Amino acid sequence: MPPEILFNIQLVLGYVAWLLCFGAYILPRFRSMGPVAVQRAIATLHSFRFFGLVFILPGVIGSHLPASFGTFAAYWDLATGVLAMLALLTIRRKPLFWLFVVAYNLVGIVDLVLDYVHAVKVGLPALAGQLGAAYAIPVLYVPLLMITHVVAFYWLVRREPQVLATDAIAT
């Protein structure tokens, strides 16, 4: 099977597997948590985005992959990770916390969307073997990151469930 077909199958299945995991385990847990706790959990995951620097680590990415792809992905991942860490560090200062939550999600989703655009332009699926050890990032890690950005934005704009007076009396 050609590498571009394998890569695309794995990318799609990465999204499917993470969506199934979210539906079964993560979203039910998030529904029992407050909005700050949900955003804190998502920010903790994104604080590991410094791992994207692997795209500019010599010897990890093959020489046939354009350097511009790895450089952009690496530094935007780093920026997202640092902003997520700043959100976590400012948890007690809610206005700053919310500012950093919005910032890392905006930077992170722009990063991922533009990474997809760059990947299509350079024909990444056909060159997927050039990713070397970093191959797992787009097929396993990126789907999780994209899904959590969408969930974070959803939790930012959703209304808190209203507690009815009868519910409050019953508890």
pLDDT reported for residue 169? 52
Burial of 58 (0-12, 13-18, 19+ CB in 10 A): exposed
pLDDT reported for residue 45? 98
The answer to whether position 142 is within a domain reads: yes
Reported confidence tier of residue 70, pLDDT bands at 50, 70, 90 = confident
The answer to whether position 166 is within a domain reads: no
The answer to whether position 169 is within a domain reads: no
| Rounded average pLDDT over 23-48 | 97
pLDDT reported for residue 164? 47
pLDDT (tens digit per residue) in 79-126 = 999 999 999 999 999 999 999 999 999 999 999 999 999 999 989 999
CA torsion sign for 48, 73, 113, 143 is negative
The answer to whether position 140 is within a domain reads: yes
The answer to whether position 170 is within a domain reads: no
Cβ atoms within 10 A of the Cβ of 158, count?
Answer: 10
What does 93-161 look like in DSSP terms, one character per residue?
Answer: SHHHHHHHHHHHHHHHHHHHHHHHHHHHHHTGGGGGGGGGGGGHIIIIIHHHHHHHHHHHHHHHHSPPP
Domain containing 29: what range? 3-160
Q: How far apart are CA 84 and CA 78, in angstroms?
A: 10
* Number of separate domains in the chain: 1
- Residue 76 or residue 63, greater confidence: 76
**Average pLDDT over the chain, rounded to whole?**
91
The answer to whether position 168 is within a domain reads: no
Highest mean predicted confidence (pLDDT) among 116-120, 125-129, 148-152: 148-152
User: CA 40, 42, 44, 46: dihedral to nearest 10 degrees?
Assistant: -140
pLDDT reported for residue 162? 52
The answer to whether position 47 is within a domain reads: yes
pLDDT surpasses 70 at 163: no
The answer to whether position 82 is within a domain reads: yes
